[in-house]
Each structure stands twice: as C-alpha cells, then as structure tokens.
C-alpha cells in the first residue's frame, strides 16, 4: 500500500476561530474506475467546505487497484491541494477494505464516507454536521472487536427500544467493546435498552465520562465492566432497572472477558437503582483469578429500590465464583434513599455460578458514608461453608459511616446480619459481638 500527500499525514492544521481550534472533517472515498468522476466529487467537497469557515478538512482517496487511470488522477489532485491524500492498494481488496484503510489514516473529529461517483453528494454535508452538532437520536448500537483508540463522543441519544418488544427485556448490548485498548465513551445518552448498555469486555485503558443511561426493564444494567483493567467512570448519571455500575468477569461480550479486573475508579456519579439489581455491584459472575484495586468515590445514590430477592443493595459484592476480591474502597458517598440493604457482601453458590469452588472477599473499606431518607437500611455479610470448603469474608472496615445522623460503631448498631465472617472493624476497633450462628 502506498500513501501519497503531505509527509506529515497526521499533522493538524489549527484555525484561529473564536472559541479556539476548529473541528476537522475527514472525507474517505474508495475509488475504482473513477478517473472521470473523481475530479468533480473533489471539486464539490472543496466548494462546500470553503463555505463552512468553522471547519477544516482533508480528503482520503483510496485507490482499490483500479485498472484505469484513477491513481494518476489522485496523484494530480494531491499535488494541487495539500488537503488531499492518496492511498494506493497493490491489488484489489474491495470497497470495505478501502474504507477501512481511509478510516485508519483519518484523524478528523467527524469522518464522512462518500462514493466516488457522486451518488452521495458532498453538498449535503452541512446538514449532516448541523444535526451531529445539535445532537441526534440514533436508533442503532455500537460494537467494536479488537479495535484500539476507539472514541464514541457527542451529545446525541442512542435509542434502544428498537432492539426489544415494548415491555419485554432482552435485545442486544447497546455499546460493546471487546479486546480493545484506549476506549473513550463521552457525552452520549442511552435510553430504553432492554439489556446491558455500556459493556467494555477484556479491554484496557477505558474512560467513560459524562454519560447518561436510562433503562426501565429488568437486565437494563447501566455500565458493565467485564474483565477490564485501568478503567475510569466519572461524571455519569445512571437510572437503571438493574445494576447501575457492575464489575464482572464472564463470557459476555466475549469469552476473553473471563479475566482479572484491576484498577477501576468510579467517581462523581449520580445513581438511581430501580428494581431489581444494585447500585454499585461486584458480581455475580466472577470467573477469574482476582478482582482488585476498585475505588468508588464521591458518588450520590439518590434511590435504591427494594428488590425482595435477597441480593439487592447499595454496596454489594456477590462472589459466586472463584475470584479473590480484595482492596475495594467505597468512600465519600451519599445515599438519599435506600429501600434495600446498605451493604450486602456474600460468598455463595448461586444460579449464576459455574466455577466449582468459591472465591474470597477481603480488605474492603467503607469511609465517609452518609445515609439519609425514611428507611434505616439493614446490611448482611455472609460467608460460605459446605463440605470441605470454607470461605469467610474478612477484614471489612467501617470508618465514619453515618446513618440517620449516628456514626456506626458496631454490627449491631448498623443492623447488620453477620454469618461466617470475621475481622469486622468499626472506627478502628474490632467488632467482638457474640453470635449464635
């Protein structure tokens, strides 16, 4: 593959517009037997973009080994205009491969794909960009597989109701990213999907910022972090009819996501958990070696609905598989209304379990937690004991946990049921309450 044009292919031209740098539009055009039509298409782009001062642009012409003089025309156009770049395939790979080659080289804020024969007229691009700028409602979904440096940004809406019947859950994952690196999701709103919404699986270096998720059907999880490492979730609003933010290690969206979860930060988010599910969940499916270094901080839980299935709550760890869950921190979190449990930590065998042994939960810290609202939520910490297998949660720390104005200094005061667990610490002191179970 030969690339012609400026040597500085990734150079960004800066415009001195009001408000800072201009946005860039990249046009990608696959070319085959188009020596006659191509100059007219490029001229149309140049004319239209010349009328749109708030954008800069470049054009990628990808010659799919055309047998006529198409590449000669591309060479001439590149010499005439520094905004035009040419890519030449050594053999014919087809239109989709030509598009992908252009997309790999483009660096615009917006990328517009056109046909070389003028069937997709460039003079409509202003209307397209206006709609993108104001935010559109898109009936679709997003999926990437083994793709790095993926950005999904904007202030539009992804509408998920098209993937399920009106009052039935199910459908398709709304935004899934598998085996990728450097994933950014920012600014979008997802509405009324019937199953998990934002799902990075087996990814590293993931950022999810300023996102809104609103679901109304069971299994409508907000954000599922599955087998990922180095993840940041911040400034999000999630109203989910299931888990708001959940950490898992399971085969969805890819079998490769049954791997360790590490270095996850969820901060400055507002959460509304509707029935069923949990506000901040780790589990159930934890089919990996370890889940560690998880921090939830500076969040507001404005509602956590009563579930009634023994698993709902605000802060929940449900280890139903083999993982060792450790170094988990909940800090500076405010709960306005918790109809379900406040803390629900369990090692258990459940309908979701596939591993033959249970894992562990240890070194969990609750700091500066404030609970208000009409209900004093109960809590449960429970281990697992069966035949020769014993797994007890341990080293669970509570510091400045304030419920209805009182600092919690014991499991009894916190209305906590403790079974098969030890080394619970309140305000720096071990809880030695005698238990008859």
Q: Which contacts of 53-56 are long-range, i.e. CB under 8 A and separated by 24 or more positions?
A: 53/17, 54/17, 54/22, 54/23, 55/22, 55/23, 55/24, 55/25, 55/129, 56/13, 56/15, 56/22, 56/23, 56/24, 56/25
- Give DSSP secondary structure letters for 251-266: SSS-GGG-S-EEEEEE
Q: Name 229's bridge partners.
A: 204, 262
For residue 362, what are the β-bridge partners?
Answer: 326, 394
Phi first, then psi: what are they for 68, rounded to 5°? -95, -155
pLDDT at 2: 63
Tokens found for residue 148: 């790095």
Per-domain residue ranges of the chain: 2-129, 136-430
- Let me know: does 261 contact 291? Beta carbons within 8 Å: yes
CATH, domain range 2-129: 3.90.550.10
- Which two structure tokens, joined as six digits, stand for 416? 């906590």
**Quick check: 28 and 58 in contact, CB under 8 A?**
no
Quote the CA–CA distance of 67 and 390 in Å, as a whole number.
72
Beta strands in 336-407 (DSSP E): 341-347, 360-371, 379-382, 384-386, 389-391, 394-403, 406-407
Model pLDDT, residue 309: 73
User: Structure pTM?
Assistant: 0.81
Residue with tokens 């989910």: 240
Cα(144)–Cα(214) distance, integer angstroms: 22
What pLDDT does 1 receive? 65
For residues 393 and 347, the answer to whether their CB atoms sit within 8 Å is yes
Answer yes or no: are the C-beta atoms of 156 and 184 closer than 8 Å: no
Contact 117, 150 (CB under 8 A): no
Q: How far is CA 45 from CA 12, 26, 132, 292, in A?
A: 19, 11, 18, 51
∠ CA 124-128-133, rounded to 5°: 145
- Biggest CA-to-CA distance, the chain: 89
DSSP helix/strand/coil, 292? strand
Please, what sign has the CA dihedral across residues 253, 276, 408, 395? Answer: negative
- At the top level of CATH, which class does the domain 136-430 belong to? mainly beta
pLDDT at 121: 85
The encoded tokens of residue 419 equal: 């079974």
Is residue 213 a contact partner of residue 240, using CB atoms and an 8 Å limit? yes
Query: Which residues neighbour 382 within 8 Å (Cβ) at sequence distance 6 or greater?
Result: 345, 346, 347, 348, 393, 417, 418, 419, 420, 421
In this structure, what are the phi and psi dihedrals at residue 28, rounded to the nearest 5 degrees? -120, 125
Q: How confident is the model at residue 117, as a pLDDT?
A: 87
Instruction: Show pLDDT as tens, one digit a residue, over the chain (437 residues).
Output: 666 764 443 343 333 334 557 899 999 999 999 999 999 999 999 999 999 999 999 999 999 999 999 999 999 999 999 999 999 999 999 999 999 999 999 999 899 999 988 888 888 899 888 887 877 788 889 999 999 999 998 888 999 888 888 888 877 899 999 999 999 999 999 999 989 999 999 999 999 999 999 999 888 999 999 999 999 999 999 999 999 999 999 999 999 999 999 999 999 999 999 878 899 999 999 999 999 999 999 999 999 998 877 789 999 999 999 999 999 999 999 999 999 999 999 999 999 999 999 999 999 999 999 999 999 999 999 999 988 899 999 999 999 999 999 999 999 999 999 999 989 999 999 986 554 43
Beta bridge partners of 200: 177
Which residue, among 168, 253, 136, 240, has the nearest Cα to 202 in the 3D structure?
Answer: 253
Answer for the pair 284, 316: CB distance below 8 angstroms, yes or no.
Answer: no
pLDDT of residue 14: 35
Give bridge partners of residue 261 from the DSSP assignment. Answer: 291
Two tokens, residue 87: 């890519």
Burial letters for 404-434: b for 16+ Cβ neighbours within 10 Å, e otherwise?
A: eeeebeebeebebebebbeebebeeeebeee
Torsion angle defined by CA atoms of residues 259, 367, 215 and 306, in that order, rounded to the nearest 10 degrees:
110
Token readout for 163 is 């993937």
């Amino acid at each position: 593959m030969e690339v012609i044009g400026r040597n500085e292919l990734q150079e960004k031209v800066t415009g001195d517009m009001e408000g800072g740098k201009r946005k860039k539009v990249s046009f990608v055009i696959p070319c085959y037997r188009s020596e006659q039509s191509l100059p007219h298409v490029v001229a149309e782009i140049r004319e239209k973009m010349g009328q749109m001062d708030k954008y800069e642009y470049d054009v990628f012409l990808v010659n799919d080994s055309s047998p006529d003089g198409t590449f000669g025309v591309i060479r001439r156009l590149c010499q005439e205009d520094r905004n035009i770049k040419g890519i030449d395939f050594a053999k014919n790979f087809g239109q989709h491969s030509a598009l992908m080659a252009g997309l790999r080289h483009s660096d615009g804020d917006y990328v517009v794909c056109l046909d070389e024969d003028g069937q997709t007229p460039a003079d409509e691009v202003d209307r397209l960009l206006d709609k993108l700028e104001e935010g559109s409602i898109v009936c679709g979904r997003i999926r990437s597989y083994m793709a790095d440096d993926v950005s999904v940004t904007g202030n539009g809406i992804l509408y998920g109701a098209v993937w399920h019947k009106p009052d039935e859950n199910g459908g398709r994952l709304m935004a899934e990213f598998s085996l990728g690196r450097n994933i950014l999701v920012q600014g979008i709103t997802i509405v009324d999907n019937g199953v998990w919404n934002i799902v990075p699986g087996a990814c590293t270096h993931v950022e999810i910022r300023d996102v809104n998720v609103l679901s109304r059907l069971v299994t409508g999880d907000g954000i599922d972090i599955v087998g990922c490492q180095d993840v940041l979730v911040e400034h999000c609003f999630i109203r989910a009819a299931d888990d708001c933010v959940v950490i898992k290690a399971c085969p969805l969206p890819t079998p490769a996501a049954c791997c360790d979860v590490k270095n996850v930060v969820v901060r400055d988010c507002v959460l509304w958990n509707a029935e069923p599910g949990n506000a901040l969940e780790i589990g159930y499916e934890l089919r990996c070696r370890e889940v560690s270094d998880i921090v939830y901080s500076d969040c507001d839980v404005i509602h956590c609905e009563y579930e009634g299935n023994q698993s709902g709550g605000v802060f929940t760890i449900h280890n139903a598989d083999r993982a060792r869950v450790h170094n988990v921190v909940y800090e500076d979190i405010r709960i306005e209304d918790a109809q379900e449990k406040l803390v629900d930590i369990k090692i258990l065998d459940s309908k979701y379990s596939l591993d033959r042994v249970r894992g562990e939960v240890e070194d969990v810290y609750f700091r500066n937690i404030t609970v208000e609202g009409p209900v004093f939520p109960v809590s449960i910490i429970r281990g697992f004991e069966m035949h020769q297998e014993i797994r007890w949660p341990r080293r669970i720390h509570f510091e400045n946990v304030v419920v209805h104005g009182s600092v919690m200094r014991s499991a009894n005061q916190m209305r906590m049921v403790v079974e098969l667990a030890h080394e619970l610490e309140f305000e720096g002191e071990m809880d030695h309450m005698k238990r008859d179970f």
